[in-house]
Copies of this chain bind each other. A is one copy, B any other.
Amino acid sequence: MTTSLSAELWPNVQPDAARRLMLAAVESFADRGYHATTTRDIAAAAGMSPAALYVHFPSKAALLFAISHSGHEQTLKLVESVATGGGGAKERMRGIVEDFVAWHARRHTVARVVQYELQALPEKEYAEVADLRRRIEHLVRDVIADGVEKGVFTVTDLRTAARAVLSLGVDVARWYSSRTGKTPKALGREYGDLVLRMLGATV
């Protein structure tokens, strides 16, 4: 069960032991926060020895980086594939919001670590993740700019509008739970409508 979840979360990470450690780290960070978690806690949660952990990750920060980097890469990929795909600005914006919101709802525990533990990353690793964040924001901004140019969106400040779009999606990770009574997909669709209206489009 745990093994298949970790494989689903990080299909590109090998071997399985590394993925199990990442999942144990996510759960420990979510429970107690990054700073109060030790590598010993994470190893124990993954059913491994601390020495076995170090085979895959040299430090707790390396684990946080692996989780954070992968989460940002995944969301960049989904935003990129819709943003640079076909369709008008409205269709692409709807697609971005649907996928971005659904990802933050479905992966809310991972997403909380991805979004809220950034400042615990070492400087170099932080810079790498910040670059992925900038690319995500630019893609969203470009779609809004295209919509404004084509006369389908009206916004006073591109930067604020792009930030608000992403902000709505990110914050889903904070409040969404399995008791929300709405599937990630259904929530994504509702947010698609809300965002299009926010950008001045007719829905």
Contact = CB atoms under 8 A, between A and B. Distances in A.
What does DSSP make chain A's interface, helix, strand, loop or mixed? helix
Contacts of A191: 160, 164
B156 A190 contact: yes
Contact of A170 (B32, B174, B197, B199): B174
Nearest to A200: B197
A187 B172 CA distance: 21
A175 B194 contact: no
Given A168-B167, A174-B115, A190 B160 contact: yes
A164 B33 contact: no
Contacts of A199: 197
A197 B193 CA distance: 11
A35 interface: yes
Contact of A33 (B35, B194, B198): B35
Given A116-B174, A174-B115, A174-B170, A194 B164 contact: yes
A81 B155 CA distance: 29
Contacts of A175: 163, 167
Interface centre among A170, A182, A197 (most CB of B within 10 A): A197
A171 interface: yes
Interface string A176-200: 0000001000010011011101111
A27 B58 CA distance: 29
18 contacts: A32-B35, A32-B36, A33-B35, A116-B174, A156-B190, A156-B193, A157-B190, A160-B182, A161-B194, A163-B175, A167-B168, A167-B174, A168-B168, A170-B174, A171-B174, A195-B198, A197-B197, A197-B199
Question: Which 5 residue pairs spanning A and B have beta carbons closest together?
Answer: A33-B33, A35-B36, A36-B36, A171-B171, A198-B198
